[in-house]
Amino acid sequence: MLTYDEQEKMERLMAKDENFHELITAIKNDYHLTLSQISHEIRNPLTYVDSSIQWIQKLHPEVEGFEFWDQMKNDIQYIRILLDDISAFNNGDQLNISKIDPKAFAWDLKDTLLPELLDKHIPLLMKLDDTYPDFYGDPVRLKQVFINLLKNSMDSITQRGRITLKAFTHDKRLMIAVKDNGCGIPADQQQNIFRPFVTHKENGTGLGLSIVRRIVHAHHGTIHLRSTVGKGTEVQVHLPLLPTSHICI
């Protein structure tokens, strides 16, 4: 996988020379197609295995008492989640742009997560302006970004805690931040946290934050993380206030 600096260098080359742009675009398209084909070829036999296991359990319910039966089903589910994350990562730069109301967008995020927030007794504080300038982006992809960030904040809170979601505009950019007072991220883990397959969660795929960064970069935005162990984490996403014609799709 390319590092962030290597991706930046590649983008500069594409902007500087049309021949480089066409070549790198072709390589990226081939990469996307290959990854899609690999995921598809893995998903098909996985579906057959999953169906077989369900039939075995239906015909022989006694297998539920087998020591490793539940672990086997959990491992299959993990592979499904991994394939879904790979697909999301692969398609993270493919956007369907439309006009977004940041205020309605933020409240929709809270409504989506409200059952889980209530279950975990975590308040989500909203800091929003009354009105915002016109903003264009992919609402589905951006929702994926902030659901991921909010869920990470929820996972970081082990006792009494809170999360703040704020959105404001500055210097022709929309800034949306997710802040929590959870466990925080050690400094030595922060440098590579957005790289694919880097995870410090027990059951994580290591693609969640890579997907987040990929989608943000596809919107010509930037993402910034500040975290202190024992005090919490804040992630800021900066998105340009540009008309749809200025955003690559």
**31 pLDDT band (50/70/90 cuts)?**
low
Residue with tokens 């299959």: 76
Sequence-separated (6 or more) residues with CB below 8 Å from residue 230? 183, 184
Domains of the chain, CATH where assigned? 4-90 (1.10.287), 98-246 (3.30.565.10)
**pLDDT tens digits along 47-100:** 888 889 989 999 999 998 888 888 888 888 878 877 777 777 766 677 888 999
Sign of CA dihedral 149, 154, 155, 161: positive
Mean pLDDT (whole number) for 96-120: 93
pTM more than 0.75: no
Q: Mean pLDDT of all residues in the chain?
A: 84
CB 182 within 8 A of CB 157: yes
Residue with tokens 């994580």: 204
